[in-house]
């Protein structure tokens, strides 16, 4: 049964006066909070939206009656605007609605006990730390306190009561920091030293969604970079492939940038990992471009002795790479040995000996045809071009093998750095996430 205050004789009640017998006596308010749902965690704007029930209980000495005189009525449901209410608000409000409450009725008992349970939706500011994204744990606080009564005036004393079982269903670990009247500590909101109660929410992100749609694609695309070092340096498709992988990294980096706050002072470790891979890809594109631009026949001098020994003998054994087939080199070496032998014996190269013998035979003749002289000169030119071609092909083959070895070195270096980056960047996040999950 619902009765008005006037029907019970509370004509002289004034809802703006604190419900105490003496002005030096504070009103004892018991505050209880139950979070029913986390509506949103906006990392970009560093705001969380919380749906909760705020229960306030106090005793109003002006609202007491004898149930025997009023047909044994012990409780009344009266509109909240007809009674005095504590001016308790949430300080970290992000949208200007400090109360966030809906209009509800208060339950008034015969002994003056008032129970006011209000459903609320709060949008609270919360500093987001995205270092271990998406394996991060966020600490957000909801601070409630009196808006006008401060510590010096005995206006309101706030106590708390929280049923933690209400939070376990949401997989939110609740830590309560209570600041009582007699042991008050100043916070960033306590310009006037107001009594407050702080409910600290420790929220762990479920990373399954990000593992499937962000982490796994990023790792797969990152390891595609290793295939770059299997393409030959002279291949134009190498630049195309590198550019495609670089664009994929850029896309996922932009996706992460849309999630994290732009004013934050931390960078996610996964973003640092993507940047590291982008540096390797960019260097590969630059080196390949320079190689194509500056490569010419004059840029392939013979390998120095130390490079030939290091790259063609020692390094292939370490990297388990078979050296190239050196048939051209063997043929050239054999030909050079023959030239050297003839030079030591006759003092002239073999081709010149042939021309000299032909010249002696032709000298005995009365007439030397010009076509014979031209033929002898052409034979000498063909022989020289053949030797130069063999030498050039051998040098190109050696340089190409050196390039293959360098690509193999960078491949192993990239894999080593990538694995090291995964361990260094993601292992602390997993350890931090697991340790907090087990607490």
Report domain 6-205's class: mainly beta
* Percentage, residues of the chain above pLDDT 90: 5
| Per-residue pLDDT at 421 | 76
**Torsion on CA atoms 331, 336, 337, 339, rounded to nearest 10:** 130
Please identify which residue in the block is written with the tokens 């664009």.
247
Query: Which residues, other chains included, contact 163 with Cβ-Cβ below 8 Å and sequence gap of 6+?
Result: 32, 34
Per-residue tokens: 222: 């990152």
Using a 10 angstrom Cβ sphere, with 0-12 exposed, 13-18 middle and 19 or more buried, the burial of residue 137 is middle
Residue-wise pLDDT tens digits, 12-51 = 456 777 888 877 788 888 888 888 888 888 888 889 888 8
Residue-wise pLDDT tens digits, 362-412 = 555 555 566 655 665 666 666 667 666 666 677 767 777 777 777 788 888
Domain boundaries, the chain: 6-205, 211-438
Query: In this model, does residue 264 exceed pLDDT 90?
Result: no
Phi, psi values for residue 160, rounded to 5°: -130, 160
Per the CB < 8 A criterion, the answer to whether 108 and 83 are in contact is: yes
Coil, strand, or helix at residue 42? strand
Q: State the average pLDDT for the chain.
A: 72
Distance CA 254, CA 301 (A): 45
- What's the whole-model pTM score? 0.64
Q: Which of 100, 91, 19 is nearest to 57 (CA)?
A: 19
| Per-residue pLDDT at 109 | 92
Residue-wise pLDDT tens digits, 266-301 = 888 888 888 888 888 888 888 777 766 655 555 566
Using a 10 angstrom Cβ sphere, with 0-12 exposed, 13-18 middle and 19 or more buried, the burial of residue 314 is exposed
Residue-wise pLDDT tens digits, 174-212 = 444 433 333 333 333 344 455 677 788 888 888 888 889
Residues in the chain: 439
Query: In this model, does residue 102 exceed pLDDT 80?
Result: no
3-class DSSP string for 224-270: HHHHHCCCCCCCCHHHHHHHHHHHHHHHHHHHHHHHCCCCCCCCCHH
């Amino acid at each position: 049964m619902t009765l008005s205050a006037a029907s019970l004789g509370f004509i002289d009640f004034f809802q703006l006066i604190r419900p105490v017998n003496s002005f030096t006596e504070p009103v004892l308010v018991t505050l209880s909070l139950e979070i029913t749902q986390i509506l949103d965690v906006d990392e970009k704007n560093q705001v969380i939206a919380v749906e909760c029930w705020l229960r306030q209980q106090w005793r109003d000495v002006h609202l007491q009656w004898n149930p025997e005189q009023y047909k044994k009525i012990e409780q009344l449901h009266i509109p909240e605007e007809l009674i005095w209410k504590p001016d308790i608000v949430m300080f970290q409000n992000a949208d200007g609605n400090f109360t966030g409450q809906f209009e509800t009725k208060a339950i008034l008992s015969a002994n003056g006990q008032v129970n006011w349970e209000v459903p609320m939706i709060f949008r609270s500011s919360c500093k987001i730390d995205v270092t271990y994204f998406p394996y991060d744990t966020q600490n957000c606080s909801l601070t409630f306190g009196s808006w006008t009564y401060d510590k010096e005036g005995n206006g309101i004393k706030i106590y708390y009561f929280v049923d933690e079982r209400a939070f376990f269903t949401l997989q939110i670990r609740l830590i309560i920091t209570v600041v009582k009247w007699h042991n008050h500590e100043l916070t960033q909101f306590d310009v006037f030293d107001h009594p407050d109660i702080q409910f600290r929410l420790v929220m762990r992100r479920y990373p399954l969604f990000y593992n499937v749609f962000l982490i796994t694609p990023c790792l797969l695309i990152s390891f595609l970079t290793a295939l770059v070092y299997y393409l030959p340096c002279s291949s134009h498709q190498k630049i195309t492939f590198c550019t495609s992988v670089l664009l994929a990294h850029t896309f996922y980096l932009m996706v992460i940038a849309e999630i994290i706050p732009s004013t934050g002072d931390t960078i996610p470790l996964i973003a640092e990992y993507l940047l590291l891979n982008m540096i390797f890809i960019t260097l590969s594109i630059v080196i390949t471009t320079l190689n194509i631009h500056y490569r010419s026949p004059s840029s392939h001098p013979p390998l120095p002795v130390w490079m030939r020994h290091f790259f063609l003998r020692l390094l292939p054994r370490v990297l388990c790479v078979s050296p190239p087939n050196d048939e051209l080199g063997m043929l050239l070496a054999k030909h050079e040995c023959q030239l050297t032998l003839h030079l030591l014996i006759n003092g002239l190269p073999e081709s010149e000996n042939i021309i000299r013998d032909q010249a002696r035979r032709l000298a005995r003749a009365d007439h030397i045809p010009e076509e014979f002289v031209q033929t002898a000169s052409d034979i000498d030119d063909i022989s020289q071009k053949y030797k130069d071609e063999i030498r050039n092909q051998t040098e190109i083959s050696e340089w190409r093998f050196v390039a293959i070895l360098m690509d193999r070195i960078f491949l192993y270096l990239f894999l080593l750095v990538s694995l090291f980056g995964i361990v260094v960047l993601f292992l602390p996040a997993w350890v931090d996430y697991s340790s907090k999950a087990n607490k």
